[in-house]
Structure 1
Amino acid sequence: MQKFDVLIVGAGMVGLTLALALRKTSQLKIAMVDTLAVPELDENIDVRVSAINVASKNIFANLGVWSALENSRVQDYQHMHVWDKAGLGKLDFSAKDSASFPSEDNLGWIIENKVIRHALWQQAELDEDIHFFTDNKLASISQGDSEVFATFATDSATHNSASNSSSTPTAPIIAKLVVGADGANSWVRQQMNMAMIFKDYDHHAIVATVECPQGHNNTAWQVFLPTGPLAFLPLRSAQSASSTAGIADPVNNLCSIVYSTSPDDAKRLIALDATEFAKELTAASDGKLGDITLKSERFTYPLTMRLAQDFVKDRVVLIGDAAHTIHPLAGQGVNLGLLDAAALAQTLTAKLNEHDDNHAELVNTSDLKAFSRWRKSEATEMITAMAGIKQAFAPQQSPVKLIRGVGMNILNNFAPAKNRLIAQALGIKADLPALAYQKDAL
């Protein structure tokens, strides 16, 4: 039997961020269970990327991992260009126009998921009180009055070496709290019968890496097509990441695409050969990035809105995709999850008595309910916003398209409204966890 304060199921970006955040402000002993191998970094660019906003960057900086990310592959962008394929509307955003956060030079950063997870994992390995269990999956969770009991399955998975990995990964774990950070199909959520609201977006997403001869120009591009949005997110290649400082980087022509479209259209697009698929991307983007070339495999997956009815059940908490999933058209999913992690760490450690070695105050029912309301409210707000944007750009009759285009152009020239949208994109809002602010403000 092994005892811990917190058991985190899922050592992805959100779970690892929670572990580091808990350890930053407490002496809690953490167990992390995940059999998914931490990726080794090579020159192959991951097609799965995340758009990191300023709030998330601050979290990484305050946890000591931002410098490692910057030394790997991080692509900043200062501009966003959004346009309506079916109309005349367009929106242009620039970091220099932000009145909400004038000290920030960027609107955000595009980073491969494997790069983020690798940096977080390496940082967590340095902490002797974060223990990894990578040999076996969990088999069951049961709650007692003051603890949670978790057992492992008996079948072995491939072992991932980690400096703090337990020598007896199959031994049961006792913890005061279990956190499900194990993704959209959360095993923890299912095990605890935590109810979920869901809705099919009737969209499939296609992700891939492409080359754009016109260059991405440190810009995130998004066109709203009749079937759904197509985003071109600027990428930093392995060559550009290793470029000599002070020398202009010639390699700025890679983008990650997120193409959200109807299931039938996604099936058609995936069936095309690489050349024909690239031609469709060039036409869809009005040639603004040049004649596009496909540089990776294509992957597709269905898009579903999910929202847990409650993020907390007794001594079990859900965060990240285990608690909510949203449409990727605004790229805010991972940022929501990272804020969940920072908020939960803040909630759990705010009232800990440094002289209480048993951490008896760790699980406070009223505090956990407040956390659930806090994070569910923000997730609901984001889900509602994404649904509104998706509906606004659904195929419409000509008069509606005209009004939509006029509205976009008016908004594009109305500074107060644009500044508010820029602040939303940056993640700058009221009631952020302390870790989401700049280090100087902590």
Structure 2
Amino acid sequence: MMHIVIVGGGLVGAAAAVAAARQGYQVTLLERGAAPDHQPVSQEWDLRISSVHQKNVEWLEQLGVWTQVDSAKYFSYAGLSVTTRDRQTVEFAAADVAAPRLGVMVENDALVRACWQVLREFENVTLRAETEIKTYELESQHLLLNNDETLLFDLLIGADGANSAVARAAEIGMRGWDYDMRCLLAIAEVEQPLAAKTWEVFRAEGPYALLPLNDHLACLIDYRAEAVWSDASTEQVEQALHETFAPVLGAFTLQKHASFPLRRQRALRYFDSRGVVLIGDAAHSIHPLAGQGVNLGFVDVQTLMSALAASELRTALKTYERKQTLVNQQMMRMMDAIHFGFRSEHLLPRLAVGLGLQAVAKIKPIKQQIIKAAMGWS
């Protein structure tokens, strides 16, 4: 039985562990932090939230994970809208393709907790929290852990984020750049009831968006230059968000907020012949504009597991790299085109964006295809 060691017990790593366990592999999941389910569930939403499209929700249902997610920590959305700098808006709705929803907003912690709870039911899974790797011996395919234990592997999966130690150990180079912008996230309690719809508005200084979390709770997102958010006080954040969102939402109360820098990065290769492969942010981190980061990571897992089931290891890793490099780089280029096109100060790019949106709004088959793609059905 192939032994798969997964480094990183977050969203993508934990989901990969469940998928691998269901395929009958021996799985060891290593997480440097505490076990996600070691603390009681918090009633408040955490700031780390993901938009999971409908196809991936269905995949999580098949894995037996979704039924374990706290129902108070996810919210289905059935519509989304995009507004350009020139105030052109296009609306997308699940009803346009006869679907009940486009996807869900889910708290990362709740989804990871559900994965770990499912993993504890498998006899072929070993969960190792508060565990780090001291030494990678890739030629002999063994790891020396921080408790001086030696761990052998047939396949080592790096799901340890954009600053991947697995990638460094395998000498897999990275290419990328900073956008010189920060994304500010805030949880806000809203007095007026919210529609089950997410929306995004573009402007010169960067877009702002709303993600509904329940009828009266929202995640507010505001992208601005690095210098604006990096040193902003709580009072400055509250003032800026009220100026931006209050005209649309009415009165609201901020519960918490934080910001992070935007960076685009990709691994120069996805696997190493010594039995190492990268998934999720370890392989690619993209602009979060359309919330596709975790969705791409979940598709990485699906493609990798399908390849492993179909052929021997080296061939499977080549197949995975070939397929997912294409998929992920296409999404990266699309996010860059949206980022630069919608924010451009120049007339021609903005005109192209406007004409494109008009076509999308008026031509039903194109609009339906975009909706299906947003749901994960290409």
Hey, what does 2:152 align to over in structure 1?
174
Counterpart contact for 1:10–1:182, Cα < 8 Å: yes
Cα deviation for residue 268 of structure 1 reads: 6.0
Superposed counterparts of 1:275-424, under 5 Å:
275-282=238-245, 287-296=247-256, 298-314=257-273, 315-351=275-311, 361=312, 363=313, 365-397=314-346, 401=350, 404-405=353-354, 407-424=356-373
Hey, what does 1:12 align to over in structure 2?
10
Task: Indicate how the Cα distance of structure 1 residues 349 and 232 shifts in structure 2: closer, same or farther if over 3 A, else same.
Answer: same
Which structure is higher in strand share? Answer: 2
Asked if 1:253 corresponds to 2:216, the answer is: yes
Task: Indicate how the Cα distance of structure 1 residues 275 and 391 shifts in structure 2: closer, same or farther if over 3 A, else same.
Answer: closer
Superposed counterparts of 1:197-208, under 5 Å:
197-208=175-186
Residue 272 of structure 1 aligns to a residue whose secondary structure is helix
Asked if 1:133 corresponds to 2:128, the answer is: yes
> 1: CA distance between counterparts of 2:355 and 2:15?
42
Match of 1:196 among 166, 169, 174: 174
Residue 168 of structure 2 aligns to a residue whose secondary structure is helix
> 2: CA distance between counterparts of 1:59 and 1:342?
9
Query: What letter is aligned with 1:394?
Result: R
> 2: CA distance between counterparts of 1:228 and 1:263?
11
Counterpart contact for 2:341–2:350, Cα < 8 Å: no
> 1: CA distance between counterparts of 2:46 and 2:346?
39
Hey, what does 1:79 align to over in structure 2?
79
> 1: CA distance between counterparts of 2:307 and 2:94?
32
Cα deviation for residue 350 of structure 1 reads: 2.7
Task: Indicate how the Cα distance of structure 1 residues 415 and 189 shifts in structure 2: closer, same or farther if over 3 A, else same.
Answer: same
Cα deviation for residue 17 of structure 1 reads: 1.0
Task: Indicate how the Cα distance of structure 1 residues 349 and 411 shifts in structure 2: closer, same or farther if over 3 A, else same.
Answer: closer
Cα deviation for residue 267 of structure 1 reads: 3.1
Hey, what does 2:143 align to over in structure 1?
150
Match of 2:26 among 11, 24, 29: 29
Instruction: State the TM-score, normalized to the length of structure 2.
Output: 0.93
Question: Which shifted more, 257-266 or 392-401?
Answer: 392-401
Query: What letter is aligned with 2:326?
Result: S
Query: What letter is aligned with 1:293?
Result: T
Cα deviation for residue 263 of structure 1 reads: 0.7
- By relative contact order (CA 8 Å, sep 6+), the higher-ranking structure is 1
Query: What letter is aligned with 2:323?
Result: W
Residue 184 of structure 2 aligns to a residue whose secondary structure is strand
Gaps of 5+ in 1: 155-169, 237-251, 352-360, 430-442
> 2: CA distance between counterparts of 1:312 and 1:255?
39
Task: Indicate how the Cα distance of structure 1 residues 403 and 335 shifts in structure 2: closer, same or farther if over 3 A, else same.
Answer: closer
Superposed counterparts of 1:221-240, under 5 Å:
221-236=199-214
Residue 189 of structure 1 aligns to a residue whose secondary structure is helix
Gaps of 5+ in 2: none
Question: What percentage of residue pairs aligned between the two structures are identical?
Answer: 28
> 1: CA distance between counterparts of 2:70 and 2:146?
38
Instruction: State the TM-score, normalized to the length of structure 1.
Output: 0.80
Which whole-Å deviations, capped at 9, do the CAs of 1:143-200 have from their partners, x for residues lacking one?
23xx51100125xxxxxxxxxxxxxxx4110111100001111111112210111121
Cα deviation for residue 348 of structure 1 reads: 1.6
Counterpart contact for 1:4–1:174, Cα < 8 Å: no
> 2: CA distance between counterparts of 1:317 and 1:233?
33
Task: Indicate how the Cα distance of structure 1 residues 217 and 177 shifts in structure 2: closer, same or farther if over 3 A, else same.
Answer: same
> 2: CA distance between counterparts of 1:78 and 1:16?
27
Task: Indicate how the Cα distance of structure 1 residues 348 and 388 shifts in structure 2: closer, same or farther if over 3 A, else same.
Answer: same
> 1: CA distance between counterparts of 2:170 and 2:286?
22
Structure ID, larger Rg: 1
Cα deviation for residue 265 of structure 1 reads: 2.3
**How many corresponding residue pairs?**
374
Cα deviation for residue 264 of structure 1 reads: 1.8
Cα deviation for residue 255 of structure 1 reads: 0.8
> 2: CA distance between counterparts of 1:112 and 1:400?
36
Residue 396 of structure 1 aligns to a residue whose secondary structure is coil
Cα deviation for residue 82 of structure 1 reads: 1.6
Query: What letter is aligned with 2:17?
Result: A
Residue 104 of structure 2 aligns to a residue whose secondary structure is strand
Residue 343 of structure 2 aligns to a residue whose secondary structure is coil
> 2: CA distance between counterparts of 1:407 and 1:378?
22
Hey, what does 1:265 align to over in structure 2?
228
Residue 59 of structure 1 aligns to a residue whose secondary structure is helix
Query: What letter is aligned with 1:126?
Result: E
Cα deviation for residue 299 of structure 1 reads: 1.2
Cα deviation for residue 70 of structure 1 reads: 6.0
Hey, what does 1:44 align to over in structure 2?
44
Counterpart contact for 1:90–1:405, Cα < 8 Å: no
> 1: CA distance between counterparts of 2:216 and 2:355?
32
Counterpart contact for 1:89–1:407, Cα < 8 Å: no
Which structure is higher in helix share? Answer: 2
> 2: CA distance between counterparts of 1:291 and 1:399?
38
Task: Indicate how the Cα distance of structure 1 residues 222 and 260 shifts in structure 2: closer, same or farther if over 3 A, else same.
Answer: same
Instruction: Give RMSD over aligned pairs.
Output: 2.0
Which whole-Å deviations, capped at 9, do the CAs of 1:225-262 have from their partners, x for residues lacking one?
212221210103xxxxxxxxxxxxxxx12111232221
Cα deviation for residue 399 of structure 1 reads: 7.0
Counterpart contact for 2:45–2:73, Cα < 8 Å: no
